[in-house]
Amino acid sequence: MKEILYNEVSDAQIHFRILLNALAHPGSIYDFPKMELTPPNNIHLASICIGFALMNADVSFAVQNENEVEIAHYLALNTGASIATLEQADYLFTTGNTDPSSITSLKTGTLSYPENSATLIIDVNQLSSSPAINALAIELSGPGIENTTTVYVNGLSSTLLEAIQEQNTEFPLGLDIMLTDNHNQLACIPRSSTIAFPLTSNRYS
Amino acid sequence: MVENKKYVNKYNFAFIDEATKKEIRRKLLKAIAIPGYQVPYSSPEMPIARGWGTGGLHVTLAIIGADDIFKIIDQGSDASVNACNLRNFVRDMTGVKTTFDTAEATIIQTRHRITEEELQANQIFVYQVPQPEPLRGVERYENKTRQMHGEADYAKMWVSLYEQFITHGDIMLGAGYPVKVNDRYIMAPSPIPRWDVPNLNHSKAIHLFGAGREKRLYAVPPHTKVEALEFEDVKFHIENFNGTKCVKTGYHKAFLDELYFDDGSKHFLINDSNFLDKLSENLQPVQHSNPYLNQIKDEKN
Amino acid sequence: MGYVAVKGGSDAIHNSLELVEFYRLKDAVQPLEIEQIKGQLRLAVDKVMGEGGLYSQEYAAIALKQAEGEVFEAAFIIRAFRTTLQRRFYSETINTRDMFVKRKISASFREIPGGQILGPTRDYSQRILDSSKAFETIEDVKKFVEYFKLSVDENQLQEIIQYGKVIDLLANEGLLKPINPKEDRKLVDITREAIKFPAPRSARLQMLARAETGGLMAMGYSSMRGFGSVHPTVGELRYGQVPVKLKDPSGRIRYIGKIEVTEAEMIASTSVSKKTEIPSYTVGYGLCFGQNDTKVICMGILDTTMRNPDASMPANDQEFVLYHTEGIESMGFTNHLKLPHYVTFQSGLKNIREAIERKTATQTQTSPSKAE
């Protein structure tokens, strides 16, 4: 369970630079390098890499996932980060179809310290820069984007994205999200982005 | 001589320990997500004195990898003593390739200038910042300025600019002119001259700011709106070098240093040493373009 | 050519470093030994440990030698060295009631449990320059140490006594202000996160503990002279060794060694509790590595002054006291003025020249008869 083929110095640095680029260019898709790691079921390799790159004993996290107990244990063992409630978590590892009601529990920071907020790492099926069937088309504008850009996401529920968007209405308070897919790709949406996407037809539940 | 193994110093790659690098990295990501907002960080001591570039170093050393190509300038010059000292330190602690060529570098650390040559999408520009708080001149207390930023209450700053105009007929701020980022945070761009400020606006590069002594990190992502503070009728303007040109190349559309020769005569020289070198060798570096620069008429020699 | 922008940086640096080494060594009859510095410049070593924030007499002595005795520079070297060390454990809280006391005095009471023990101090010496120190030989040293050892009667030695504290006496009588859990128990680590204001007491005391002695002295003195609110009494000042213990992975408490500290508990002016209207004493606390009375006394004064919300007095002002007594940061920033600032200056020059032009133009306009 404790990975030995991860280089704390060079891998963390390389992966961080990918994250920095992705967050500085919201909606753009980046590739994570292939890693010889054996994460538990139901979580993407790229999400694990994000956890390894950013987490240590100074931060906390939560997992909302069908395999959350095993994943939480794996992340805690390999990073030293502590498992916390949704209200306290600095990082939330979850999937694109998770229950949107948990979003309101997450930290969004304060006006004086907006950085005390959660970052979401969300596993989806497929990220694409061109239209795809059953993909949610998210149009983004704002810092990092020249004019606008669109990212097509398969496996992210629009109600979940709506819940996150709701938390981001009072900038600088808000949540930052990192999307990973089955092909080891990454796209990020910081709270500074303005997003537009088709809402679900049935909004009365 | 017997090797004294007890005192052999072994350093981690890039000097800083991994836990601190992670902390800086996490905070940089937050800074990118909230453009212009100052994120507090632990800012551990370095073997370089506070006020001499520890913040810039923290950022560089937290992000740098073995494949990066590193450039560092001080007041526009690669060869300046402090730039040399910091370059040696980074090189000794990472083994990365260093360069004077702006176009070749992937990470450029700077004290108080943006390069004349345009920054590209694959480049990260790291600023050494002495005073990260743009409101410090109008409010000395940190807990008050933090509140002012949180509530976007910038009245004191505007009043101060107005008072300068009333007293002197213009806004008297020189280097380090305050800017508004993403229509939200007022930010200190570090003491770069006004000449450079417009080049932050919708830049292609990532701009990261490290204030070591004051323990703050902040960032401006690429393609972000960055505007110098101005009134509708009292506008921001860059330094006026009209009537002067570089004594070596004859070029007049760059920030010029004022020099006094031994005979007391005054001359001007392009401040950005790599840009000066490239023009001197008849190379064609691509210069930053912005509305203020574009207004300067081309002079015939 | 005239003034040329600083160039040939690498060569200049190389030469300056060689020059400084030459100055350090050119008159050396014999290289200083680290043991000599540790032993005979003990208080300088203590100061460097205290301001560097790292307990190691050996490394502090090396830093002092490397810096030619410049204490700011040596403390800076130690601080930077400290950053490279991995933090493996947190120790258990050290209770200074467990101190092996070398010195213990109180100004508040004439007689205290265990008595007033002056210990090693120059407080009651006359500061007369002793030129015989220029002629000390190793034989003189050995003779004195022998004589001193002989004057200690082995039969009189007792086992280590731990002394109760003076403030415990006051606490038992109900004279001390009760502990405020929110204020006094909130623990932050200022080496891991930037200080935020208003700062909790643990952050303030940590900053004071590694602050520069001279800066603390100036601020503490200002308070006593009317620029602050506090002129306290030394409740107790102690110097001695305390044990350092930590919990091993199996949960057992282990002793790993001892360190020397100086501690002061300053009893300050009464404060009246808003709830009960009963007055009490507040205790201002000071603690640092090694032997440094001045520092802990001033720490105790400032611990108290900074709790006063009236920030019109510099010593009461948390931000003012804590930011400006931080020796490494102050030294760095004041000295950074030596760095080239010609671009910054050029930008300002343009502003002033244009302002002068504007002013003289208006003056010429409004009073043409006065114009030359």
Cα distances (angstroms) measured from residue A85 to each of A70, A163, B94, C23: 16, 19, 39, 61
Nearest CA in chain C to B20: C192
Nearest CA in chain C to B51: C333
**Helix C213-222 with C293-305: angle, nearest 10 deg:** 50
Q: Domain limits of chain B?
A: 18-228
Asked whether residue C306 falls in the same domain as residue C270, the answer is yes
Q: Assess contact for B42 and C193: CB atoms under 8 A.
A: yes
Looking at residue B5, its pLDDT comes to: 57
Q: How many CB pairs under 8 A join A and B?
A: 111
Mutation to test the B interface, candidates A49, A108, A115, A173, most B Cβ within 10 Å? A115
Percent of chain B with pLDDT over 90: 78
Q: What is the least distance, in Å, from the CA of C62 to any CA of chain B?
A: 11
pLDDT digits (tens, 9 = 90+) for A114-169: 999 999 999 999 999 999 989 999 999 999 999 999 999 999 999 999 999 999 99
State chain A's mean pLDDT as an integer.
94
List CB contacts (< 8 A) between A171 and chain B: 34, 184
Distance CA B297, CA A151 (A): 43
Q: What is the least distance, in Å, from the CA of B58 to any CA of chain A?
A: 14
Per the document, the length of chain C is 372
Distance CA B259, CA B269 (A): 7
Looking at residue C369, its pLDDT comes to: 52
CA B12 to chain centre: 27
List CB contacts (< 8 A) between B83 and chain C: 9
Q: Is the pLDDT of residue B152 over 90?
A: yes
Between B192 and C273, the more confident residue is B192
List CB contacts (< 8 A) between B29 and chain A: 19-20, 23, 54, 119, 176
In sequence order, which residues have a C-beta less than 8 Å from that of residue B166 and are 6 or more positions away? none
Q: Assess contact for C177 and C280: CB atoms under 8 A.
A: yes
Residue C2 lies in a domain: no
Whether chain B has a CB inside 8 Å of the CB on A141: the answer is no
Q: What string of DSSP letters covers C157-186?
A: --PPPPPPPHHHHHHHTT-BPPP-HHHHS-
Whether chain B has a CB inside 8 Å of the CB on C250: the answer is no
Q: C-alpha dihedral over B235, B239, B242, B246, to 10 degrees?
A: -160
* A120 beta partners: A92, A177
Residue C11 CA neighbour count, 13 Å, CB half: 3
Q: What is the least distance, in Å, from the CA of B284 to any CA of chain A?
A: 26
Distance CA C227, CA C315 (A): 7
Pick the CATH number of B18-228 from 3.60.15.10, 1.10.1060.10, 3.40.50.11310, 3.30.413.10: 3.40.50.11310
Q: Which of C7, C196, C347 sits opposite B79 (nearest CB)?
A: C7
Last residue of a domain, one of C287, C308, C325: C325
Neighbours of B74 (CB within 10 A): 29
Neighbour-count burial for B147-184, b at 16+ CB within 10 Å, e otherwise: ebbbeeebeebeebbeebeeebbbbbbbbbbbbbbbeb
List CB contacts (< 8 A) between C77 and chain B: 47
Neighbour-count burial for A135-171, b at 16+ CB within 10 Å, e otherwise: bbebbbbbbbbeeebebbbbbbbbbbbbbbbebbeeb
Asked whether residue C46 falls in the same domain as residue C119, the answer is no
CA angle, B119 then B212 then C80, to 5°: 120
Percent of chain C with pLDDT over 90: 57
List CB contacts (< 8 A) between B35 and chain A: 143, 192
pLDDT digits (tens, 9 = 90+) for B203-233: 999 999 999 999 999 999 999 999 999 999 9
Please return the burial class of A4, using the count of CB atoms within 10 Å of its CB with bins 0-12, 13-18 and 19+: exposed
**Which residue stretches of chain C have pLDDT < 50?**
1-6, 370-372
Asked whether residue C237 falls in the same domain as residue C317, the answer is yes
Looking at residue B167, its pLDDT comes to: 86
Which residues 145-204 in chain A show a CB within 8 A of chain B? 145-146, 171-172, 176, 190-192
List CB contacts (< 8 A) between B185 and chain A: 172
Q: Which of B22, B40, B150 sits opposite A56 (nearest CB)?
A: B22
According to DSSP, the β-strands at A91-95 and A60-64 are parallel
Asked whether residue C180 falls in the same domain as residue C32, the answer is no
Q: Which long-range contacts (CB under 8 A, 24 or more apart) does C175-184 make?
A: C175/C280, C175/C281, C176/C280, C176/C281, C176/C282, C176/C283, C177/C271, C177/C273, C177/C280, C177/C281, C177/C282, C177/C283, C178/C280
Q: Which of B22, B32, B39 sits opposite A20 (nearest CB)?
A: B32
Q: Do B21 and A12 touch (CB under 8 A)?
A: yes
Q: Assess contact for B32 and A23: CB atoms under 8 A.
A: yes
Q: Which helix (H) or strand (E) holds B278?
A: helix B273-280
Q: Do C5 and B142 touch (CB under 8 A)?
A: no
Give the ranges where chain C is alpha helix by DSSP (H): 9-25, 34-40, 42-52, 57-66, 71-84, 138-150, 166-172, 181-184, 201-209, 213-222, 293-305, 318-324, 327-335, 342-366
The pTM score is: 0.87
**Encoded amino acid at B143, one letter:** N
Residue C351 lies in a domain: no
Q: What is the least distance, in Å, from the CA of A57 to any CA of chain B?
A: 9
Q: Assess contact for B135 and B156: CB atoms under 8 A.
A: yes
Nearest CA in chain B to A115: B30
Phi, psi of A198 (to 5 degrees): -70, 135
Looking at residue C179, its pLDDT comes to: 79
Nearest CA in chain B to A146: B223
Q: Which two tokens stand for residue B140?
A: 């000395």
Q: Which of B18, B151, B184 sits opposite A9 (nearest CB)?
A: B18
Whether chain B has a CB inside 8 Å of the CB on A80: the answer is no
List CB contacts (< 8 A) between A142 and chain B: 182
Q: What is the least distance, in Å, from the CA of A138 to any CA of chain B?
A: 18
State chain C's mean pLDDT as an integer.
89
Q: Which two tokens stand for residue C22?
A: 């030459």
Q: Which two tokens stand for residue B74?
A: 């001080």
Instruction: Determine the 3-state secondary structure of C28 from DSSP.
Output: coil
Q: Quote the ipTM score.
A: 0.96
Whether chain B has a CB inside 8 Å of the CB on A104: the answer is no
Q: What is the least distance, in Å, from the CA of B256 to any CA of chain C?
A: 9
Q: Do C191 and B42 touch (CB under 8 A)?
A: yes
Q: Which two tokens stand for residue B49?
A: 């004195």
Which of B188, B174, B215 has its CA nearest to residue B55?
B215
Neighbours of C317 (CB within 10 A): 21
Residue C251 lies in a domain: yes
Which of B228, B262, B270, B279 has its CA nearest to residue B245?
B270
Phi, psi of A31 (to 5 degrees): -100, 135
Which of C47, C42, C40 has its CA nearest to residue C73?
C47
* Domain span at C159: 96-325
Neighbours of chain C (3+ CB pairs under 8 A): B
Which residues does B contribute to its contact with A (CB < 8 Å)?
A: 12-13, 18-19, 21-23, 25-35, 37, 39-40, 63-66, 124, 146-147, 149-151, 182, 184-185, 202, 206, 220-225
Looking at residue C9, its pLDDT comes to: 78
Q: What is the least distance, in Å, from the CA of B227 to any CA of chain C?
A: 18
Q: What is the DSSP letter of B77?
A: B
Q: What confidence category does residue B77 fall into, taking pLDDT thresholds of 50, 70 and 90?
A: very high
Percent of chain B with pLDDT over 70: 96
Q: Assess contact for B186 and B102: CB atoms under 8 A.
A: no
pLDDT digits (tens, 9 = 90+) for B268-284: 999 999 999 999 999 99
CA angle, C197 then C203 then C209, to 5°: 130
Residue C367 lies in a domain: no
Q: What is the least distance, in Å, from the CA of A103 to any CA of chain B?
A: 18
Q: Which two tokens stand for residue C4?
A: 């040329």
Looking at residue A205, its pLDDT comes to: 34
Q: How many CB pairs under 8 A join B and C?
A: 178
Looking at residue B8, its pLDDT comes to: 59
Asked whether residue C146 falls in the same domain as residue C51, the answer is no
Mean pLDDT of B47-74: 95
Q: Do B35 and A55 touch (CB under 8 A)?
A: no
Sheet with C279-289, strands from edge to edge, namely C100-105, C233-247, C253-272, C279-289
Q: What is the tally of structural domains in chain C?
A: 2
Q: Is the pLDDT of residue A193 over 50?
A: yes
Residue C24 lies in a domain: yes
pLDDT digits (tens, 9 = 90+) for A148-160: 999 999 999 999 9
Q: Which helix (H) or strand (E) holds C283?
A: strand C279-289
Residue C232 lies in a domain: yes
